[in-house]
A and B are shown apart, each in its own frame.
Chain A
């Protein structure tokens, strides 16, 4: 109901172009999230739990935590991202929004990009909230250049959400879809995850991590292209 109002209101401002469709969908998702705060609350609490549980189970010293923090932080974000990714398409099933989208002439990739960008923003907010906690709990101090951590975070988060958005659209069509998403997403994310963890650990320890950043960039490019090429097929497969 509000979506149709939104649509008619935005029509005048170029929402019929692919970029416009992306913007309208992204704004809608952000507004929904802003009002409900479902994804961000559950993700934050979930990753907080992971931080606390890991901290108890390993009880690391400052030197040890520098070695393991890269792994911990990304595993926590990966698990938390799954929470948001699972909700991303499920909410479009109610009221047959996805069916309506399918019959509309709007390009499928615009919707995909909007969803991926939305998830990227959610996970980035989560990371911004959780990173200070990690620093405090694990007494972290980077030896290498800190700005590279930001680069790794952006590239790594995109790698997770672009595949995650795609696979959650696939797992929408399965029984027990909440379980299915990690089963599909984790194996394919292994190289990206390895690259994020190694780059983070490398930067924290002041080692060279250029290879991993290049690998992440390539991974992002290849999989973004792949997902964009295949998404229309997946959206229309019912």
Chain B
């Protein structure tokens, strides 16, 4: 497994480089928005990656609640952390794109608001993991993750209705995507997914080592003769 990691790293680097080239050079320039539209190739793949990671977090949390395997908990922790990072990328690239195109940094549109609320939920999840003083943090965290995931459809529905009641300028429109653009988008998504997977993997290894170190330290202090405990 350890040998696979550098190979994955090289593949990811190549893919990211190729995707960058495709996005900046090969992809056709959008008619109305111009070059600014190219941020699309980072914005959308990041969003998809973040949503997938949050979904994995939900599944891992359910598995942990059912089976109590530490592996599931570590997967949940890692995917939430990396998911929040990708979600942050979405929330930052969004306004950068919106400002020149719509003339505003932010609008309380369905997707923007849902993504923001999703981000808030998972940040609170990370807060809980950080601040928990219990030895059973994984259980508490997975309970929160399950309730957080239950909340997602409500967030989407409520904000959707909220906005349809108060019409906003139509954003994006339902236009179809140029096949070449779709091609570049998918390549970028593949590259981003590989990258996310790599980061998750390395974070997972770090977490595993950290837990082993903690355990070894706890054992050492238990075995140490009285009075010599640090």
Is B131 in contact with A188, judged by CB distance below 8 angstroms? no
**What would be 23 A-B contacts, judged by CB atoms less than 8 Å apart?**
A167-B144, A170-B128, A170-B144, A174-B133, A174-B134, A183-B124, A186-B120, A188-B124, A188-B151, A190-B158, A191-B151, A191-B155, A192-B154, A211-B161, A215-B157, A218-B154, A222-B150, A222-B154, A223-B150, A226-B147, A234-B139, A234-B140, A238-B135
- Measured CA separation A175–B146 after assembly (Å): 22
Is A173 in contact with B127, judged by CB distance below 8 angstroms? no
Given contacts A190-B117, A230-B147, contact A173 B157 (CB under 8 A): no
Q: Which residues of B contact A191 (CB under 8 A)?
A: 151, 154-155, 157-159
In-complex Cβ contact of A226 among B120, B150, B165 (8 A):
B150
Is A184 in contact with B135, judged by CB distance below 8 angstroms? no
B85 at the interface (CB under 8 A from A): no
Is A184 in contact with B136, judged by CB distance below 8 angstroms? no
Per-position binary interface string of chain A over residues 197-236, scored 1 when its CB falls under 8 Å from any chain B CB and 0 otherwise = 0100000000000011001001100110011001001100
User: How many residue pairs bridge A and B at CB < 8 Å?
Assistant: 97
In-complex Cβ contact of B121 among A166, A170, A188, A198 (8 A):
A188
Is A170 in contact with B135, judged by CB distance below 8 angstroms? no
Q: Which residues of B contact A175 (CB under 8 A)?
A: 131-133
A76 at the interface (CB under 8 A from B): no
Is A187 in contact with B121, judged by CB distance below 8 angstroms? yes
Query: Can you name the residue of chain B whose Cβ is closest to the Cβ of A179?
Result: B131
Is B140 in contact with A237, judged by CB distance below 8 angstroms? yes
Chain B interface residue count, Cβ-Cβ cutoff 8 angstroms: 32
Is B162 in contact with A238, judged by CB distance below 8 angstroms? no
Q: Which residues of B contact A90 (CB under 8 A)?
A: none
Is B135 in contact with A230, judged by CB distance below 8 angstroms? no
Q: Which residues of A contact B159 (CB under 8 A)?
A: 191, 194
Of listed A170, A183, A191, A234, residue having the most chain B CB within 10 A: A191
Q: What is the minimal beta-carbon distance from A64 to any residue of chain B, in angstroms?
A: 17
Q: What is the minimal beta-carbon distance from B178 to any residue of chain A, in angstroms?
A: 36
Is A174 in contact with B139, judged by CB distance below 8 angstroms? no
In-complex Cβ contact of A187 among B65, B124, B133, B146 (8 A):
B124
Q: Give residues in A with beta carbon < 8 Å to B.
A: 163, 166-167, 170, 173-176, 180, 183-184, 186-188, 190-192, 194-195, 198, 211-212, 215, 218-219, 222-223, 226-227, 230, 233-234, 237-238
Query: Can you name the residue of chain A whose Cβ is closest to the Cβ of B65?
Result: A233
Q: Which residues of B contact A212 (CB under 8 A)?
A: 161
- Measured CA separation A195–B159 after assembly (Å): 9
Q: What is the minimal beta-carbon distance from A104 to any residue of chain B, in angstroms?
A: 19
Query: Can you name the residue of chain B whose Cβ is closest to the Cβ of A193?
Result: B158
- Measured CA separation A237–B140 after assembly (Å): 7
B94 at the interface (CB under 8 A from A): no
- Measured CA separation A186–B157 after assembly (Å): 18
B28 at the interface (CB under 8 A from A): no
* Given A188-B148, A215-B154, A237-B139; 4 other pairs, CB 8 A cutoff: A167-B144, A194-B162, A223-B147, A223-B150
Q: Which residues of A contact B136 (CB under 8 A)?
A: 173, 237-238
B199 at the interface (CB under 8 A from A): no
Q: What is the minimal beta-carbon distance from A102 to any residue of chain B, in angstroms?
A: 12
Given contacts A187-B124, A211-B161, A219-B154, contact A237 B147 (CB under 8 A): no
Interchain residue pairs A-B with the least CB separation, the first 5: A237-B136, A173-B134, A191-B154, A187-B120, A237-B139
Query: Can you name the residue of chain B whose Cβ is closest to the Cβ of A198?
Result: B162
